[in-house]
Amino acid sequence: MSTTSNSPIASPVNVAVGILMKPNGDVLLGQRPAGKPMAGYWEFPGGKVEPGESFFDALKRELLEELGVEIASAEPWCGIEHQYAHAHVRLHIYICREWRGEPQSLEGQAFAWQGSVGVEPLLPAAIPMIEWLDELRSEIGLAA
Ligand SMILES: Nc1nc2c([nH]c(=O)n2[C@H]2C[C@H](O)[C@@H](COP(=O)(O)OP(=O)(O)OP(=O)(O)O)O2)c(=O)[nH]1
């Protein structure tokens, strides 16, 4: 039986996502630029994993392409799967505390450092991460 990319039983697309976190707990979000599905929605930086690429290599490549930052280390944090009308995605989410360079808007996207996240609309699959990040900040002694 053949499937299309919009079929609910199609394999999910792997996406590497990086949450850049400053020592004070602020995290970086970007706004999807015009021309992409769900343009205008806010998300954490990242993108699709290419064939043969590890999730961590995809993360490093995407953050360099989108923001011009070099990830020095990152810790796998959680996974989320979500079915959109345009795609079925599986997000592999990392927390990054060490990077080189200042984030720049290399794809014309707006971006914002946020403590308690106030930008909207957020991509639906990013919404649960906000609460989990608040819990993480509490666990490590930072105010949510
Ligand atoms: N980067 C990112 N993607 C997310 C998040 N939440 C979420 O549902 N997604 C989805 C949206 C997209 O369907 C998919 C990411 O694909 P994309 O199209 O942005 O990836 P890409 O940068 O490789 O894009 P392209 O080169 O194909 O244009 O993951 C998130 O927090 N960050």
Q: What is the pLDDT of residues 49-101, one digit of tens each?
A: 999 999 999 999 999 999 999 999 999 999 999 999 999 999 999 999 999 99
Q: What does residue 71 show for φ and ψ, rounded to 5 degrees?
A: -75, 125
Ligand 1 centroid–CA 141 distance in Å is: 31
Q: Is any ligand 1 atom within 6 A of the Cβ of residue 17? A: yes
Look at residue 25 and tell me whether its pLDDT is greater than 90.
Answer: yes
Q: Is the CB of 18 under 6 A from ligand 1?
A: no
C-alpha 14 to ligand 1 mean position (Å): 9
Domain membership flag for residue 47? yes
Let me know: does 91 contact 6? Beta carbons within 8 Å: no
pLDDT for residue 117: 85
For residues 71 and 96, is the Cβ–Cβ distance under 8 A?
A: yes
DSSP-derived letter for residue 143 is: -
pLDDT exceeds 50 at position 4: no
Q: Check residue 129 and give its pLDDT.
A: 95
Q: Which residues constitute the domain of residue 31?
A: 13-139
Question: Could you tell me the two tokens for 95?
Answer: 């927390």
Residues 3 and 83 sit within 8 Å (Cβ to Cβ):
no
Residue 59 buriedness (CB in 10 A; 0-12 / 13-18 / 19+): buried
Nearest CA to ligand 1 atom 8: 125
**Atom of ligand 1 at shortest distance to CA of 125?**
8
In a domain, 4, yes or no: no
Q: Is the CB of 43 under 6 A from ligand 1?
A: yes
Total structural domains in the chain?
1
Residue 105 lies in a domain: yes
Instruction: Compute the distance between CA of residue 92 and CA of residue 114 in angstroms, rounded to an integer.
Output: 21
pTM summary value:
0.92
What is the CATH classification number for the domain harbouring 49?
3.90.79.10
Whether 7 is in a domain gets the answer no
| Mean pLDDT across 9-23 | 93
**Does 144 reside within a domain?**
no
